[in-house]
Structure 1
Amino acid sequence: MTTTDTPRVRPAVRADLPGVVVLAAEHAAYERAPAPADGLAELLAGELFERAEPRLSCLVAELPGGALAGYATCTEEFGTWQGRPYLHLDCLYLRDEHRGLGLGARLVDAVLAEARARGLDEVQWNTPAWNEGAIRFYDRLGAARKEKQRYSLAVRPA
């Protein structure tokens, strides 16, 4: 941690994972979703730090003193209609008390930098239709809405 009083956004390190798991649980509860998977820290470690070419990127918003205020995760995907890859912002979450301080925009900037580093020219994401605060935030960023419903279907053994 630097000696400044300014929060920073940086790539997650292995020691951040317990805090990221706590944030992910808060995020899931906020979005009225099931709790994250058991052993999530180990699962994230495998994707972030143990693969030759990690699919997942995790960025954290760190407060002075080292506490985490939020996180963003993203993965590279392929858009069939566009015929090109893009970066999928899977999670973006800031604790309520740290919203409105510019950290969300800094996390998004870090995600955009990740996309540029990968040679990608677009980031896509979803947010619940009821999450008016997030929608206002994304609109202020200049993001374009794409009206769709997100579905999930569990794959059962044959």
Structure 2
Amino acid sequence: MRPATVADVPLILGFIKKLAEYEKLSDDVVATEDILRESLFGSKPYAEVILAYAAKNSTDNEKIPAGMALYFHNFSTFMGRPGLYLEDLFVDPEFRGRGIGKKLLIQLATIAKERQCARFEWVCLDWNKTSREFYEALGAKPLSEWIIHRVDGKSLDYLAAM
């Protein structure tokens, strides 16, 4: 594993598109390499990415991109400390079941501890039972009492113009 660099933007976008396809949300992807370059590596980076590499098979020494975790900081007013928020975790299907997702989550938990974050959290689609079971096996607790609210697109324009 390693932190992504600006040279990795095409790879990151490729993983985002594969994740969107898996989540049946391909039509929602409007990110471009230019947008990601500015948002992740511009003068004010908004998020960070860790890339995971693995050998294609047990006899191959060459490591190829296998997955990524894209994350950023949020803040808990009750705790008075930052949190780490995982926006996307993706492992290429050919590498699933090899512990890569778990290693990415462990790395993010380590970063959260190093940065004195009060918590590490993310959301998971309700239909994704496999991922939910995976997260819960690692100690994550689903928070069913919280409902996500979102304002985007024309609704965001409307609210901002009030």
TM range (shorter): 0.7 to 0.9
Q: Does the Cα contact within 8 Å between 1:29 and 1:35 map onto a contact in 2?
A: no
Greater gyration radius: 2
Deviation at 1:19, TM superposition (A): 1.2
Query: Per the alignment, in what secondary structure is the counterpart of residue 67 of structure 1?
Result: strand
TM-score, normalised relative to structure 2: 0.81
- Per-residue displacement from partner, 1:96-133 (whole Å, max 9, x unpaired)? 22111000011111211221232213101000011011
Unaligned runs of 5+ in 1: 1-8
Unaligned runs of 5+ in 2: 56-61
CA distance in 2, matches of 1:149, 1:92: 21
TM-score, normalised relative to structure 1: 0.83
Alignment partner, residue 119 of structure 1: 116
Q: Which amino acid aligns with 1:103?
A: I
Higher relative contact order (CA 8 A, sep 6+): 1
- Per-residue displacement from partner, 1:16-53 (whole Å, max 9, x unpaired)? 211110110111121122432242x222222332236x
CA distance in 1, matches of 2:121, 2:82: 11
Deviation at 1:66, TM superposition (A): 4.8
Report the identity percentage: 28
Q: Does the Cα contact within 8 Å between 1:25 and 1:35 map onto a contact in 2?
A: no
Give the RMSD, CA atoms, in angstroms: 1.9
CA distance in 2, matches of 1:38, 1:78: 25
Alignment partner, residue 59 of structure 2: none
Give 1 or 2: higher helix fraction: 2
